[in-house]
């Protein structure tokens, strides 16, 4: 039976019972529950294409739902649940979720997939005839990828994280382009299976992309400026920070570099929303109620 589990088979109907059809192929018999059958009018002697799996009662059964994910065939599945003591449950379309073992998950728990994330997997059957999901590897993603063109530079793309490295994150975009996000271009480390919006910062000669999760300069500047305004309002409109403040003190308080801080202050002063005097920064009267 192990050679049929996790695969698609064409089997003959040899009996119809109250709750299932009995199917047969080369002497192997498998139940097709009526709840798993798309055609309830099957008769003895008919053939049906089915997928074989082990259900929640540990019985080997068939379904007429043919998943794209199979033994030897990679495809996308959707995460339905996560158990830190077992692994990640993935919906591949059949009546039972498939587990990707905790042994295949990142060492850090916060980098594990979450519900509704996507994983590209194929199926593996172990010596106890249990089905497991196996994560796609680099060559599997390259096999389904397409080359990007130079006109994608500076475009926004959406992609799914499929590989985590200390130096960066690999994604495959909705257009099937391979992308890499260097650690310096991440605001935080994405998790496996996460869907991301990124910006193309380079199109490499091999058709892969270098991506960034950081905003364009004007976008980052807007976020930094808004953060400073929010802080000023929370402390009564006056803070002991200015464009002359110590870089370490600025990073400790606001989490940005001195250069970013100065650019944000400059934009706010240009808009006359703040002013600086004697090493302090103040909200202007016009901005105190905004």
- Please check whether residue 36 is in contact with residue 65, taking contact to mean a CB–CB distance below 8 angstroms: yes
Q: Which residue has the tokens 């339905």?
A: 80
Most confident of 132-136, 150-154, 181-185, 229-233: 132-136
Distances (CA, A) of 216 to 66, 75, 266: 44, 34, 17
CA distance 112 to 99: 13
Q: Kindly give the pairing relationship between strand 156-165 and strand 168-173.
A: antiparallel
Whether the predicted model's global pTM rises above the 0.75 cut: no
pLDDT at 219 > cutoff 90:
no
CB atoms within 10 A of CB 237: 15
Domains and CATH numbers, the chain: 8-63 (2.40.50.330), 75-136 (2.40.50.140), 146-212 (2.40.50.140), 217-287 (1.10.10.10)
pLDDT band at 220 (very low <50, low <70, confident <90, very high): low
- Please check whether residue 38 is in contact with residue 66, taking contact to mean a CB–CB distance below 8 angstroms: no
Q: What was the pLDDT predicted at 224?
A: 81
In the predicted model, what is the mean pLDDT of residues 193-219? 86
CA distance 206 to 3: 39
Residue 222 host element (H or E): helix 217-234
């Amino acid at each position: 039976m192990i050679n049929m589990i996790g695969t698609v088979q064409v089997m003959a109907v040899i009996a119809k019972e109250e709750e299932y059809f009995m199917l047969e192929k080369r002497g192997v018999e498998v139940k097709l529950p009526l709840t798993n059958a798309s055609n309830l009018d099957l008769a003895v002697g008919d053939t049906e294409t089915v997928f074989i799996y082990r259900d929640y009662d540990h019985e080997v059964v068939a379904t007429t739902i043919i998943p794209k994910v199979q033994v030897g065939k990679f495809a996308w599945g959707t995460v339905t649940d996560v158990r830190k003591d077992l692994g990640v449950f993935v919906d591949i379309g059949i009546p039972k979720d498939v587990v990707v073992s905790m042994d295949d998950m990142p060492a850090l728990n916060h980098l594990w997939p979450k519900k509704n994330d996507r994983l590209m997997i194929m199926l593996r059957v172990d010596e106890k005839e249990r089905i497991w999901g196996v994560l796609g590897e680099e060559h599997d993603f390259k096999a389904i990828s397409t080359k990007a063109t130079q006109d994608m530079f500076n475009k926004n793309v959406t992609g799914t994280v499929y590989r985590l490295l200390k130096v960066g994150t690999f994604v495959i975009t909705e257009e099937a382009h391979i992308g890499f996000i260097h650690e310096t271009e991440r605001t935080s480390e994405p998790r496996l299976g996460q869907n991301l919006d990124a910006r193309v910062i380079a199109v490499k000669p091999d058709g892969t992309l270098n991506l960034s999760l950081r905003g364009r300069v004007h976008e980052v500047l807007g976020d930094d400026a808004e953060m400073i305004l929010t802080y000023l309002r929370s402390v009564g409109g006056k803070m002991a920070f200015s464009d002359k403040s110590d870089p370490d003190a600025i990073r400790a308080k606001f989490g940005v570099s001195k250069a970013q801080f100065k650019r944000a202050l400059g934009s706010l002063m240009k808009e006359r929303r703040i002013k600086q005097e004697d090493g302090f920064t103040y909200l202007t009267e016009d901005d105190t109620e905004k």
